[in-house]
Structure 1
Amino acid sequence: MSHPFPTPPITPFERLQAADGLLINAIRWRKAHDYHRLRQNAHYQSLNQPGIVCGLGIRVISAPKKVEAQFQDNRWVQIQPGIAIDLFGNLIVVPEAFPFHIATELHGSDAVLVYLVASYVDPDELRRSAPKDVVQETFRIDEKSTLPTSSEIELCRILLQSGEVTITPPVDVFFPGYNNIDLRYRVQAQSRPQALVRMAQVNNDDKECARSFFNLAYLLQSVESLHPSLRGGEEVGQVNLSENLQEYDLLYLTGKQSLTLNSTEFENIKTYLNLGGVLLVDAPLDGNALIESINALAQHLESPLRPLEEQRRDHPLRTKPFLFAALPMVNQQPIQILTGSGIILVIGDIASIWGLDSSFSLPRTTIRTGQELGINILQYAWKRRQFIGLQQEDISGQW
């Protein structure tokens, strides 16, 4: 499975073999020093993720007096000094503040989202009028209307509104509006998580299949804070069982109706489970039709579901990373968990305590306990897929 911050390519390093009498020329000198630079970059890329180290703030300013009259408008910001590190481990150093003009023009009535991004510039790739003994590594700031690439660091984004544009600071920094500087999506340089876990909701004809969709997002958001070595995907996907399912580590299915699969869907889910995927079925207490159909599916897959309490005491669903002697209560009722060969059947509506309820009445401890069990399920899904994937042919280091 792809990761937003991929590891370095699996390519051995080459270094200069020194010996007495070796003639040092520019090519050999560069090769000797590139070895150390590339090795340092690979070390950073292996253990960390790219982002902003410090500074690089964005503030609204008036148009500089020296610019031409056609640029004397309200589209100017100032980029503050700071440091970032890109995906490849290169330092991006902005040594002093400088003005930047937002140039995107709007055509029609549609708003346009623009991004300010910083990227590393290798001085060896620059054209120079004359060779120098010392060159300074530098950077580039770009304004673009497409998502930043893997080698770019987002500094801010601005949703430009049609009409005359005036860039302003937001009244509420957590909820910026049109023409406001939006800093919410900046990424800080930090330790790299072991894995990114992606989850999708299974859609079907059951009108109840989407009732917990927003709580799935709350669970994914909680992962980074409660278990930093794991990271939840940015968005919850939506799939049908006839589609390609391999993009996701965990499929979430809920509702009350019996799950009926045609031959294509059955083979698809069988392949998905055999390759390490996990199907989480979250059934309410009165969802007998769904519960019976999932037990029948497990029997058909020749892996009957067994209650968690009948399995080993150190089963990862109960112990990794959070320890559960008793399972959480939902609506004053303890949930039940049955599992076998990639299917986890939860009876008791666990997703209902992963996020906010409509009346804001759930106690914090209830939500936190539910999220911790949810993270155990996500961890289990990732580990199961990793262990099975490591036994497949040619996985190219992706696990």
Structure 2
Amino acid sequence: MSHPFPQPSIQPFDRLQAADGLLINAERWRKAHDYHRQRQNTHYQCLNQPGIVCGLGVRNIPAPRDVQAKYRDGRWVQIQPGIAIDLAGNLIVVPTAFNFPIDLEVANTDSILVYLTVSYVDPEDLRSPNSREIVTEAYRFDQRNSTLNISEIEICRILLQPGQKEINQANDIFFPGYNDIDLRFRRQAQARPQAILRLAQINHSDAECARNFFNLSYFLQSIEPLYPYFRGLDEPEQISLSKKIQDYDLLYLTGQQELSINSVEFESLKNYLNTGGMLLVDAPGDAEALIQSTYTLAQKLNITLKKSTELRRDHSLRTRPFLFAGLPAVNKKIIEIITGGGIILTIGDLASAWGLDKELQMPRLAIRTAQEFGINIVYYAWKRRQLIGLQQEDDSGKW
């Protein structure tokens, strides 16, 4: 399943075989201890994901007095003590506050987004002039305006304006502005979910195909609080069927008009469904053209669609992870579910209840119920893809 943090490689461990008379030298001592370090780190990688454990706050400060005058500007921050764990399972301990200058150059016309990061440094990688019996594991702070290295932990980000302007504390911490310290995107170290789900909206010729796009974001945000074993990957994407769709756990399609798919898109979709992918067609109740064309598409794919009344009572769409006897109601009308193979057709505009309506009047219970049923859909899609994938050849060397 999709996950921003890869699982460790499937590699066996080599352990030092002890025996009477074995000569312990520095190399063998290091091998013995590296074995335990690797097992500990791999154990963490298997069950958890990297992030900040505690502390590592950031505040703006005046330039320290001991720096040269030319560096005494208003772009200094102080990183507070704290602990983090990186992707490899290495513990990063920052024992004291650290003053850090934000000194990346900003062009005269464009702002830049600066990331402040911390990463683990193995003492054996440091060039120490003296051989010491005890060494302290180290860390490194860095700033960059490009994609982070996967081993780095984000502490904060700052959207810098052109010119030497001061770093500020945000007046509204939930909506920081230019030159404000932004702490909203820090990852916390926590248990690894079973899957991080990727969802994409299918763009097609219908002008109504994107009408629920923002509600897909609300839905992805709801997955982890309602079902902590899963997590939605930040934001949905918009793609066409002719693009690379294999990376997505669920494809979402809506609109009003008849669905028109060319031969390239048809073959792409067919391959996606055969390898475990899932297509969710979310049709409003009056979208007859879209509904009928979905049946036609299913026939071309040799898929038999069945109504929910024809499914087993214990079908996953009704029972996993949330139990539904009656199906959710959207706009006071019960939705219909028709499914088969890798296609789910919902009639009743389910995703319109996944987010905020324009009038902000939709009852909380209606939103929660629709989101829970949506999680049943993505659970069914994930489980189907997992079970089909486990019957395929896998030579990737990854879990």
TM superposition score category, shorter chain reference = over 0.9
1:392 aligned partner = 392
1:23 aligned partner = 23
1:84 aligned partner = 84
Tell me how far apart the structure 1 counterparts of residues 397 and 276 of structure 2 sit (CA, whole Å): 16
Mapped contact 2:8–2:398 kept (Cα < 8 A) = no
Percent identity between matched residues is: 64
CA displacement, residues 171-205 of structure 1 (integer Å, 9 cap, x when unaligned): 00000000000000000000000101111011111
Alignment of 1:112-191 (within 5 A): 112-191=112-191
CA displacement, residues 292-329 of structure 1 (integer Å, 9 cap, x when unaligned): 11111112222210012211111111111111011111
1:193 aligned partner = 193
> Which amino acid in structure 2 is aligned with residue 23 of structure 1?
L
Query: 182-191 vs 299-308, which deviates more?
Result: 299-308
1:267 aligned partner = 267
Alignment of 1:238-277 (within 5 A): 238-277=238-277
Mapped contact 1:121–1:140 kept (Cα < 8 A) = yes
Alignment of 1:42-53 (within 5 A): 42-53=42-53
Tell me how far apart the structure 1 counterparts of residues 146 and 338 of structure 2 sit (CA, whole Å): 45
CA displacement, residues 258-289 of structure 1 (integer Å, 9 cap, x when unaligned): 11222222111111100000000000111111
Quote how far apart the aligned CAs of 1:361 are: 0.4
2:229 aligned partner = 229
Tell me how far apart the structure 2 counterparts of residues 254 and 214 of structure 1 sit (CA, whole Å): 13
TM-score by length of 2: 0.98
Quote how far apart the aligned CAs of 1:164 are: 2.5
CA displacement, residues 106-155 of structure 1 (integer Å, 9 cap, x when unaligned): 12210010010000000001001011100000100001111222100000
Quote how far apart the aligned CAs of 1:290 are: 0.7
> Which amino acid in structure 2 is aligned with residue 129 of structure 1?
P
* 1:72 counterpart = 2:72: yes
1:321 aligned partner = 321
Could you say what secondary structure the match of 1:128 adopts? Answer: coil
Could you say what secondary structure the match of 1:113 adopts? Answer: strand
1:350 aligned partner = 350
**Structure 2 vs 1, CA of residues 397 and 222 (structure 1 numbering), >3 Å: closer, same or farther?**
farther
Tell me how far apart the structure 1 counterparts of residues 102 and 263 of structure 2 sit (CA, whole Å): 55
Mapped contact 1:389–1:395 kept (Cα < 8 A) = no
Could you say what secondary structure the match of 2:155 adopts? Answer: strand
> Which amino acid in structure 2 is aligned with residue 100 of structure 1?
F
Tell me how far apart the structure 2 counterparts of residues 395 and 27 of structure 1 sit (CA, whole Å): 33
Mapped contact 2:241–2:269 kept (Cα < 8 A) = yes
> Which amino acid in structure 1 is aligned with residue 53 of structure 2?
V
Tell me how far apart the structure 2 counterparts of residues 24 and 164 of structure 1 sit (CA, whole Å): 58
TM-score by length of 1: 0.98
| Structure 1 segments unaligned to the other structure (5+ residues) | none
1:209 aligned partner = 209
Quote how far apart the aligned CAs of 1:383 are: 1.0
> Which amino acid in structure 1 is aligned with residue 22 of structure 2?
L
Tell me how far apart the structure 1 counterparts of residues 266 and 106 of structure 2 sit (CA, whole Å): 49
> Which amino acid in structure 2 is aligned with residue 227 of structure 1?
Y
Mapped contact 1:257–1:290 kept (Cα < 8 A) = yes
Quote how far apart the aligned CAs of 1:2 are: 4.4
Tell me how far apart the structure 2 counterparts of residues 316 and 19 of structure 1 sit (CA, whole Å): 55
Mapped contact 1:2–1:398 kept (Cα < 8 A) = no
Mapped contact 1:201–1:251 kept (Cα < 8 A) = yes
Mapped contact 1:40–1:89 kept (Cα < 8 A) = yes
Tell me how far apart the structure 1 counterparts of residues 95 and 135 of structure 2 sit (CA, whole Å): 15
2:362 aligned partner = 362
> Which amino acid in structure 2 is aligned with residue 344 of structure 1?
I
Tell me how far apart the structure 2 counterparts of residues 215 and 206 of structure 1 sit (CA, whole Å): 18
> Which amino acid in structure 1 is aligned with residue 158 of structure 2?
I
* 1:306 counterpart = 2:281: no
Tell me how far apart the structure 1 counterparts of residues 42 and 366 of structure 2 sit (CA, whole Å): 42
Tell me how far apart the structure 2 counterparts of residues 85 and 263 of structure 1 sit (CA, whole Å): 48
Tell me how far apart the structure 1 counterparts of residues 386 and 237 of structure 2 sit (CA, whole Å): 20
Tell me how far apart the structure 2 counterparts of residues 245 and 15 of structure 1 sit (CA, whole Å): 42
Mapped contact 2:199–2:251 kept (Cα < 8 A) = yes
Could you say what secondary structure the match of 1:206 adopts? Answer: coil
> Which amino acid in structure 2 is aligned with residue 369 of structure 1?
T
Tell me how far apart the structure 1 counterparts of residues 125 and 390 of structure 2 sit (CA, whole Å): 39
Mapped contact 2:2–2:198 kept (Cα < 8 A) = no
> Which amino acid in structure 2 is aligned with residue 224 of structure 1?
E
1:292 aligned partner = 292
CA displacement, residues 60-112 of structure 1 (integer Å, 9 cap, x when unaligned): 11111111000111011100000000000000000000211111111221001
* C-alpha RMSD of matched pairs (Å): 1.0
Could you say what secondary structure the match of 2:225 adopts? Answer: helix
> Which amino acid in structure 1 is aligned with residue 31 of structure 2?
K
Could you say what secondary structure the match of 2:345 adopts? Answer: strand
Mapped contact 2:280–2:344 kept (Cα < 8 A) = yes
Mapped contact 1:201–1:237 kept (Cα < 8 A) = yes
Tell me how far apart the structure 2 counterparts of residues 79 and 360 of structure 1 sit (CA, whole Å): 40
CA displacement, residues 201-241 of structure 1 (integer Å, 9 cap, x when unaligned): 11111011000000011100101111111011112111111
